[in-house]
Amino acid sequence: MGLSWMNQREIYPQPNRSSRDVAAALSPLFPISRFLGILPYSDAFDFSNGWLVYSLSLHFILLGVNIFHKIYLAVTLGFSGYNRYRFLQDFEIILNYVTVITHLIQLTFKKQNLGSILRKTAEIDTFWVIYTKHFARNYFIGGALWLVVPLTLEFNNLEQVVSLTIFFTIVMVLCSFLEVLRCHLKCIVEQLQPDKVHLANLIETHNTIVRLAAAINELFSWQILWICIRCSVTFVIDIFMLLKIVSTTDLKETYIEFIMSTSSSLWDFLVLFLLSSSCSKTSEHINAFNSHLFKIIRSHATLFRSEKLKLYAILREGHEFNACGYFTVGYPLITSVIGATTTYVVILVQFLFDTGGTQDLKDGNFNLTLLQESTSNPLNETTEYEYE
């Protein structure tokens, strides 16, 4: 798109549109996320207290229903039929809801931040012509992997489907915000020209986008942390279960277990890859502007004499996405998770072989055998409880 900045302005509709124009420009992801209680925005794409109340009410009702259902099953059925696969499902549901509750807390205490992000995003020209690829492609791929496959095998429950859908929507909302920034960053990089006034305007726009990226990172920092923890932990468990199934059972008899563990591990890896890829690409687009700007300034003596332009090019204003400052989110995170998974799985497999597949957890007179159950029929598999 070798268009001038003025032509770019003419093609892209200007901001400050009516609420009807805002609704027409939105990707379907945003209305879906509002319906699921993830993004409480008004029709004018601003923060809405009413939708926040709806979000809090919806998720606390869902959480209450889940807790009541678990208590009801524990009272009426006890632990009969409660196998390790049901335990893993419930464990994933808990981690999903921890992420959702964290997201709601962030929205409640950082309402002004969310409102500012929504307004600034709506003011970006390219926002009005974008249809988020993350929704069109990744949302349906991820949804199909964990909704269609398990339901086809009749080996899932509604609670897990709901929690996974909401969890995945949080990931996609974050990725879609970053995609809007990348789209606009790509446009301003293509409009870089050796004109002092023009470059000053682009630098101001770039600086605004960098601050917006930092604000988005701050709003989603705890969510990113829990997303990484949840996917990493369940990825380790899924890989371990796959190795155990392949090494100790006949796949003809346990193919459902194999497919479920495979799809679950692929889904966890997909979420981590989407998150890491989106954050890494956004940082790369931010740095690409600085690199192109420095090349233009260095190749033109008149621009090189401008202290303001030269200072901005040298400082290379950028942003690295992180999870509450604990670690940077990018492609290196994928290799770290794979390396950690390999280490933990080797330890677990070695422990399994050393103990003959049995782990005894003793608490007073209670002895729980975790890994001595039959794997021939996962639907009727039960955990042994021995009382001394």
Contact 227, 170 (CB under 8 A): yes
The dihedral through the CA atoms of 22, 28, 30, 35 has a sign that is positive
Evaluate if pTM is beyond 0.85: no
**Bridge partners (DSSP) listed for residue 41:** 47
Question: In angstroms, rounded to a whole number, what is the distance separating the alpha carbons of residues 264 and 270?
Answer: 10
Question: In angstroms, rounded to a whole number, what is the distance separating the alpha carbons of residues 239 and 246?
Answer: 11
pLDDT digits (tens, 9 = 90+) for 166-213: 888 898 889 888 888 888 888 888 877 777 677 778 788 888 888 999
**Please, what's the b/e burial string for 273-305 (b: 16 or more CB within 10 A of its CB; e: otherwise)?**
bbbbbbbbbbbebbbebbebbbebbeebeebee
Contact 125, 184 (CB under 8 A): yes
* Lookup: tokens for 82: 């409660």
Q: What pLDDT shows up at residue 53?
A: 92
Q: Taking the mean position of all CA atoms in its chain, how far away is CA 154? A: 26
Residue 135, pLDDT > 60, answer: no
* Lookup: tokens for 331: 């492609």
- Three-state SS at 267: helix
**Parallel, antiparallel or unpaired: strands 366-369 and 360-363:** antiparallel
**No. of helices (H) and no. of strands (E), the chain:** 16, 3
- 163/309: higher pLDDT: 163
Dihedral pair phi/psi, residue 385, rounded to 5°: -120, 125
Q: Taking the mean position of all CA atoms in its chain, how far away is CA 280? A: 13
Q: Helices 49-76 and 84-109: crossing angle, nearest 10°?
A: 160
Q: Which of 64, 19, 74 is nearest to 45 (CA)?
A: 19
Contact 265, 236 (CB under 8 A): no
Q: Which of 112, 56, 88, 258 is nearest to 164 (CA)?
A: 88
Question: In angstroms, rounded to a whole number, what is the distance separating the alpha carbons of residues 128 and 23?
Answer: 10
Q: What pLDDT shows up at residue 377?
A: 41
pLDDT digits (tens, 9 = 90+) for 207-242: 888 899 999 999 999 999 999 999 888 888 888 878
Question: In angstroms, rounded to a whole number, what is the distance separating the alpha carbons of residues 159 and 265?
Answer: 19
State which amino acid sits at residue 9: R
Determine what percent of the chain is predicted with pLDDT higher than 70.
65
85-99, 137-151, 244-258, 306-320: which range is least confident on average?
Answer: 137-151
Residue 309's pLDDT band (cuts 50, 70, 90): low
Strands across the sheet containing 360-363: 360-363, 366-369, 384-387
Q: What pLDDT shows up at residue 217?
A: 93
Q: What pLDDT shows up at residue 144?
A: 60
Residue 371, pLDDT > 70, answer: no
Highest mean pLDDT among 39-48, 129-138, 194-203, 370-379: 39-48
82-96, 140-154, 234-248, 370-384: which range is least confident on average?
Answer: 370-384
Question: In angstroms, rounded to a whole number, what is the distance separating the alpha carbons of residues 184 and 9?
Answer: 12
pLDDT digits (tens, 9 = 90+) for 254-263: 777 777 778 7
The number of residues in the chain equals: 388
Residue 252, pLDDT > 80, answer: no
The dihedral through the CA atoms of 94, 95, 100, 103 has a sign that is positive
State which amino acid sits at residue 44: A
Q: In whole numbers, what is the pLDDT of the chain averaged over residues?
A: 73
Residue 76's pLDDT band (cuts 50, 70, 90): confident
**Residue 103 parent element (H or E):** helix 84-109
Question: In angstroms, rounded to a whole number, what is the distance separating the alpha carbons of residues 121 and 254?
Answer: 49
Residue 133, pLDDT > 70, answer: no
The dihedral through the CA atoms of 26, 30, 32, 34 has a sign that is negative
The CA distances from residue 169 to 28, 56, 68, 231, in Å, are 12, 16, 25, 15
pLDDT digits (tens, 9 = 90+) for 329-365: 888 888 888 888 888 878 877 776 665 544 443 333 3
State which amino acid sits at residue 85: Y
The pLDDT of 260-272, averaged and rounded, is 83
